[in-house]
Copies of this chain bind each other. A is one copy, B any other.
Amino acid sequence: MSYRQTLDFLLYDWLNVEALQQRPRFADHSRETFASVMDTCERMARERFAPFNRQADTEEPRVVVDHGGERVHLPQASHDAGRAYAESGMLAAAQDYEIGGMQLPCVVQMAANSFLARAGGNVAGGAMLTSGNANLLMVHGTPMQQTVFAKQEFAGRFSGTMCLSEPQAGSSLSDVATRATPDGVDFETDPLGARYRLRGNKMWISNGEHELTENIIHLVLAKIPGSDGKLIAGTRGISLFIVPKKLVGADGEPTGERNDVALAGLNHKLGNRGIPNTLLNFGEGKYPVRGRSGAIGYLVGNPHEGLRCMFHMMNEARIAVGMGATMLGYAGYEASLEYAKNRPQGRPAGVGGKDASKPQVRIIEHADIKRMLLAQKSYCEGALALELYCAQLVDELRSGTPEASAEAALMLEMLTPIAKSWPSEWCLEANSLAIQVHGGYGYTRDFPVEQYWRDNRLNMIHEGTHGIQALDLLGRKVVMQSGAGLELLASKVGATIARARTVPALAEQADALTAALKHLGAATKAAWSTGNPDEALANATPYLQAFGHVVLAWVWLDVALCAQPKLANATADDVALLQGKLAACTYFFSYELPKIGAWLKVVETRDPTCRTMDEAWF
């Protein structure tokens, strides 16, 4: 079963993506245009990305100091891949025709990009940041900011970053201390936006410095001091700024002058090494602008609304992280499946014991190897289905009826913490199983799976840790609008259950999901029953885990509902694909869904063991 077959099944059979072409925005599109974009990305991934994924790991970014200051050196392959990607037009694929886009549905854009992620996220993996950065400007920027910055990003001339964290402010963005002060008396009349000088230090900035593009557009969170010179405490004080590495004129062309943004160092990571992870100093005077220190930044949106604006990019990035984690998992699944089909080792036990005089069998014939492959399949294909579903919600949000759009927005709010956290935990586990299937070879660097595992380990941390996603889900999302989001999700799950009840082969799973959903709802209520956030949120992470497994069980049941009726009239090859989906669903319900019992137990009892643990007892 090829990845493309699974992708096509999910897009066309499950999500019915072709229906989108009935909408005016997508009228020029058809399954043929979608296929053509996916062909392009599949080929590009095979030729430009996959062959260099290991090289990007071993030749990690390094700082070179020369007359132009500090540069970050990357392998030539990263330059070539980045250029190929920009030239393909994929950076603007979902944008309007008038700014050079293809008006491709987001769900198809994500599907096409998945080939790149599957080839390894180390080679020019920053493209998602660039389009996310530009997408934010298309929503919150001025027309001039869109023309000068976003359009150049979509064209691949400029790349983008998101600069949130600081040494003292990682998960806690309310502690951002970068200051932005008006730059001159005419600061409000700059055609590029209200002009400020920024001073502060940012860290964990992916792609913060490199020479893959002519310019780098940093989107930077900073605080504008009040008249007393003090910063407003908390996230309300945060504003958002465009800070280009090189200053540009109103025509979008670099003026030749460098902005006061300096590379302070690189973080050396355990994985995902191809992507430079930088510390940046803003406004320390290393590159004075007009004789003075302070990095020039242009305000985006209103002052003090920076975090709200930034969430546009953060939510997109969170889904992108989930998708990246998913495809690393998938790559490991494919590698271990291939290995298992070819490696002879051992013999079946069978009644009467092994017969050592017979030849060894291929390890895919062992039940435990099949278990590890089926687990990977259920994690990675399930996660893929969820991410595509989320991308389709984005299309609904943008081009659906007002009612559908509002509903999609609410569903996205509910699902984003899961779309980010679930693959980063379980597709990492998939990578560990891929190593295990390989036996000793799995831990050698001669096989790709150990790198996938290392690369994937970052995904539970960046763009909001597991703990942050858990607080977002249980502390905000399930209680917002009096629980409207949870109700909406429950109604969607309920609809799938109702349909599954009518299919005898899936009725048992429908019952199991009913019970799981009920359990989740009861645990949610019990967690909040005392109204004390400390008690409710003490076990937010087990709650996130249980919630994720219920969502994935729902996704799998829905996918199985699509596969089951097609079995009767399918070709032999299609039968294999459909049976595979049904088996993965069965696996998930038998082996995975029962895990929620242990997670929800501590949630519903508001188990105090952890939060009351005394520091001295550790």
Binding site for B on A (CB under 8 A): 1, 165, 168-172, 174-175, 203-204, 233-235, 267-271, 337, 341, 344-351, 353-354, 356-357, 360, 364-371, 373-374, 377, 432, 435-436, 439-440, 442-446, 450, 453-454, 457-458, 460-462, 465-467, 470-471, 475, 531-534, 537-542, 576-577, 579-580, 583, 586-587, 590-592, 594-595, 597-598, 601-602, 605, 607, 609-611, 613-618
Count of chain copies: 2
A-B contact pairs, 22 of them (CB 8 A): A165-B440, A171-B345, A233-B356, A233-B357, A234-B357, A235-B356, A270-B450, A341-B615, A349-B533, A350-B533, A350-B534, A351-B533, A366-B467, A367-B534, A367-B610, A371-B538, A443-B458, A542-B591, A576-B616, A580-B617, A590-B601, A597-B597
Contact of A587 among B364, B450, B610 (CB under 8 A): B610
> Smallest Cβ distance from A552 to chain B, in angstroms?
14
A481 CA to B64 CA, complexed, in Å: 68
Chain B proximity of A425: nearest CB distance (Å)? 10
Given the complex, which residues of B lie within 8 Å of A432, measured CB to CB?
Answer: 457
- From B444, B534, B614, A348 is in contact (CB under 8 Å) with B534
Contacts of A346 in B (CB 8 A): 171-172
Please tell me if the beta carbons of A268 and B446 are within 8 angstroms of each other in the complex.
yes
Contact B374 A609 (CB under 8 A): yes
Q: Which residues of B contact A353 (CB under 8 A)?
A: 533
Task: Please give the distance in Å from A590's CB to the nearest CB on chain B.
Answer: 5
Which B residues are CB-close (under 8 A) to A270?
443-445, 450, 453-454
Closest 7 CB pairs of A and B: A234-B356, A367-B611, A594-B598, A580-B617, A270-B450, A233-B356, A371-B610
Is A475's CB under 8 angstroms from B349's CB? Answer: yes
A203 surroundings in chain B (CB, below 8 A): 440
Distance of A292 Cα from B532 Cα, bound (Å): 81
With a cutoff of 8 Å between Cβ atoms, the chain B residues found around residue A440 in the complex are 165, 170, 203-204, 267, 461-462
Most chain-B CB neighbours within 10 Å: which of A377, A465, A542? Answer: A465
Q: Are B601 and A598 within 8 A (Cβ)?
A: no
Q: Are A610 and B172 in contact (CB under 8 A)?
A: no
Find A609's partner among B1, B170, B587, B607 (CB 8 Å cutoff).
Answer: B587
Residue of B nearest to A345 (CB): B172
**Bound Cα distance from A460 to B437, whole angstroms:** 11
Q: In the bound complex, what is the Cα–Cα distance between A341 and B618 (angstroms)?
A: 11
User: Which residues of B have CB within 8 Å of A439?
Assistant: 170-171, 461, 465
Name the CB-closest residue of B to A617.
B580
Complex contacts, A374 vs chain B, CB 8 Å: 609-610, 613, 618
Please state if B613 and A583 are interface contacts (CB–CB under 8 Å). Answer: yes
Cβ of B445 and Cβ of A610 under 8 Å apart? no
Residues of B near A607 (CB, < 8 A) are: 590-591
Closest beta carbon of chain B to A594's beta carbon, Å:
4
Inter-subunit contact B348/A175 (CB<8 Å): no
Known pairs A345-B172, A350-B534; A373 contacts B337 (CB<8 A): no
CA gap between A479 and B58 in the complex, in Å: 49
- Residues of chain B lying within 8 A (CB to CB) of residue A462: 440
Known contacts A337-B618, A351-B531; 14 additional CB pairs below 8 A are A170-B439, A204-B440, A267-B446, A269-B443, A350-B533, A367-B610, A368-B538, A368-B541, A373-B618, A436-B461, A436-B466, A453-B457, A576-B616, A594-B597
